[in-house]
Every structure is written in structure tokens, then in C-alpha cells.
Amino acid sequence: MSEVRNLEPKSVWNHFEDLNAVPRPSKQEERVIAFAKSFGNNLGLSVYEDKVGNVIIRKPASPGMENAKTVIMQAHLDMVHQKNADTNFDFQTQGIESYIDGDWVTAKGTTLGADNGMGVAAIMAVLSSNDMIHPAIEALFTIDEETGMTGAFELEKGILEGQILLNLDTEDDDEFSIGCAGGIDTNTTYKYSTEAVPSELKTFSIEVKGLKGGHSGMDINLGRGNANKLMNRLMHEGLNHDLRIVEINGGSLRNAIPRESFATVVTNASFKSEIASLINDIKDEYRINEPDLVIVVDEVSGVNSSVGQDDTRKIIQAIFSVHNGVFKMSEAVEGLVETSSSLARVIVKDGEFKTQSLQRSSVESSKMDIANTVGGPFHLLGADVEHTGSYPGWAPNPNSEILELMKSKYQEMFNEEPNVMACHAGLECGILGERYPGLDMISFGPTIRNPHSPDEKVNIKSVQKFWSFLTEVLANIPSK
């Protein structure tokens, strides 16, 4: 039995381990949907699956709470699947292998699934409890949050009756999120020409790895390295050595800061020695934020063809030109990133140069401004540029009744003020608020670090704090 199952509160951790035994990548949630439905049916509760796979489980109010407002408890079923390059793990068939590491629970070389598995597990613990005080509960488990928020977008109107929505998808146990950023994807495709490799050129592999990565919204202002941009600096230096690209595979997920990039290039024989100084400079630049950065250049077996010399230069200059990182800080909320972009994927293979990037902003007009800024260099290159997957932000409600209740209870329980804020991440609240106008919404959760990366971990004590607070809030929901 996993040591994690012995942690308190046992109900939450055991539900988390049960959930983590089920593979649940975005857009392939059939198994976890069946898991959620089976869970609700085994409890004898009302279970409903909508047309896209969202699952709604209803639990009646506990005795004495029948007149309280109905609460929608919401979390998403899918998780980001990422692993270290040297980790042998099949996300399609294996369950996450979690373990205790000091004050944290983490996973062996993969993402943990605490985002948003801890929220799902907490809701399961509420549904399965026989002694909690709570109002009528509508548990809403959405699908495909991580790659498009399809579940929230396609949720049927009129199916929910709750007046309060508790989104359990925030990653600091002292924070209440009352607003979030919207987002949009920019995807580009450019068809390049290939040429025979001149006989005097050598073939080299380049590896950029060991970066922290992380959430491309919440972590975008932390100064972490972007493997795609660092790889491009190395290749740009190679233009002085007759470099041509053979292949690039950089990053892995649209909403994660890329941790690794792998490339094959052809260039002159002195490339490895000539680029050593730049590698040292880059490592020195990132010595604090990225102490584990590794850059490896090795001569490998020769290849016959590569991207043409002219197209190589165009591709490298386009990547150099595209904005990555914070674009604008909020003028309304001190310390909040308003607008950003992350160059998540760079692929050069089989005659096509492709990129994927994600732009986020709490201001709709600024979101389109950064999307057009990112698209600009690729338009100049002659690439096809597509803006897709746009979703709205969530505007804060200064008159929120649930916010005032939760602030009061937090101060009473922990003798400190909570951090009420908007976040630079995409939460489903913005979409759900459009589907159900008038919902009183708030997002909170336990402390999670490095989501969307194999370094993801959740703090054990914060889960205890989160659970005790959640149960107190549910016991004090106001009357209708």
C-alpha cells in the first residue's frame, strides 16, 4: 500500500491515490469519466454525464442544512502528462507513482496530478462523508481543462441549480482567487525546402535539458529558462559556422514552460569548440534560477539532407523575434501579470516548421494584442498563422457573499488575512460564469508547486489546512 494513503485527512489522500491509479490525459478521459460515474453510483447518489463527458454528482443537504444555498463544487478530471526524458513511464497504462518527500507528496519522474486531482479528491471526500455538515452539493467534474477547457465551454445551460461555485483549482493555501486571465493559442506552420548536406559539414546533436519548466501562466514571471529560446540562441550562434537545421523537437505541452529541447544540425567541424563560450555564458545567466541546466553538444553520425540554408536562417530569426515571457504588468492589481506569452513547442521535421504558443491576459483587448504580436514574425516568414482556442477571463466581483464568508472564516481559523487576488492562469470560472450568469464564484486549494512539470508537488500540511477550512465553509453556507 502506498505510504501516501496513511496521511491525514485519510479520506482525501485515499481518494487522491484512487484517482491517480486511473490514466487521465486531456482529450482521453474515458477511463476517468467511468471512474467518476462509478464512484457516484456506488454511493447511491444522482449521477449525470453530459454530451461531452462532464460528470455531475448530486448529494442532498445534511440534516438542518436544507434551506442553505446549493453549492457547486468544481474541479477538472484531466491532468498534464509530463515526464523526464530519462523516466521510463507509460501514461496510457500506468498509474502515477506518488511518494512522500519530506513535507511534500510528489511523483517518481512524472507530473503528480495534484493539479487538479487534489480538488477532485476533496470533492470525493465530501460526497462520501457520512458525518459532514453541508448544503446540497452539485459536484461538477469537467473534462479537458488543460488543453482547451472543452468541458466548461460545452457544459449544458440549465443543468446546474447552485447559487455558489467553489472552484478547487488554486495553488496556494492562503490565496482566494476572484479573477483570472483569459487565453488564446497561436499555432504556426511553415513549409521549408531541403538541400543536400555539403560533404565538408559535420552533424551534431544539441540537447537543452534540466530546466524547471512549470505552469506557463503562474510561473511566467519567475525568470525560468525557455528551452526553445535557449536552443535558438545556440543555433543562431551556429549561423556563423554555416549551420543548417536537420530536426528540432522542443517542448511538449502548450501550457507548460518548455523544459527540454533536442536538435540535430549540420555545421562546420569547429562548431562544438566555438560554441563552448556561449554555453558558459547562458549557464552563468541562469545560475540562480536554473542551476540544473544542462547543454550537451555531440558529434553524431552524418545525415544526407537538411533544411535549406536560407530557410534555416529564416526559421532561426523568426524564433528570435517572437515575444516570450511577461508582456505587460497589471495597472489595476499590484504585482499581477496582466499579459504574457509562452513559446511552448518548436518542431522542425518532415518539411514543416511548426510552433505552438499560448497567450494569456486579464484584459481581452490586450490578449489579442499579444496574440498578434506573436503572430507577426511568422506572418513575415510566410507561415500559416492560426489563433484558436480563445477563452474569456473572469472579472472579480467586489460584492461577493461567499468571499466575505470565507475571509471571515479564514481569519477566525488561522488568525491572519487571506491573500485575495486575481491569478494569471486560465480557470474555468470565466467560462462557467458566462454559461451561468450570476454565480457567486471563488477559487482556492492547497499549496502546489511546479504544476505541469515532473517536479510537481503538493504540501502535506496545506492539504490538512485546506480540508479543515473547506469543511468549515460548507457548514456555514448562508440560507437561500
Element containing residue 384 per DSSP (H, E)? strand 384-391
In angstroms, the CA 232 to CA 209 distance is 14
In the block, residue with C-alpha cell 502546489: 448
Contacts of range 323-328, beta carbons closer than 8 Å, 24 or more positions apart = 323/370, 323/373, 323/374, 324/226, 324/228, 324/229, 324/357, 325/220, 325/221, 325/226, 326/220, 326/221, 327/361, 327/366, 327/370, 327/373, 328/361, 328/366, 328/370
Catalytic (active site) residue 169: no
Q: Which residues pair with 354 in a beta bridge?
A: 189, 347
Q: Are 406 and 473 in contact (CB under 8 A)?
A: yes
Report cis status (omega within 30 of 0) of the bond before 446: no
- Assign 252 to helix, strand or coil: coil
In angstroms, the CA 281 to CA 404 distance is 50
In angstroms, the CA 393 to CA 382 distance is 31
SS3 content of the chain, % helix, strand, coil (to 5): 30, 30, 40
DSSP-assigned letter for residue 239: G
- Sorted by sequence, the CB contacts under 8 Å of residue 62 that are 6+ apart come out as 132, 133, 134
In angstroms, the CA 422 to CA 419 distance is 10
Distances (CA, A) of 294 to 265, 278, 416: 18, 13, 42
114-128 and 460-475 helices, crossing angle to 10°: 40
In the block, residue with C-alpha cell 489595476: 332
Which of 17, 29, 78, 440 does the annotation list as catalytic?
Answer: 78
In the block, residue with C-alpha cell 490525459: 25
Query: Nearest CA to 128 among 3, 1, 18, 7?
Result: 18
309-321 and 227-238 helices, crossing angle to 10°: 140
Catalytic (active site) residue 401: no
Which of 17, 144, 145, 173 does the annotation list as catalytic?
Answer: 145
CA–CA–CA angle 471, 146, 210 (5° rounding): 105
Residues annotated catalytic, as ranges: 78, 145
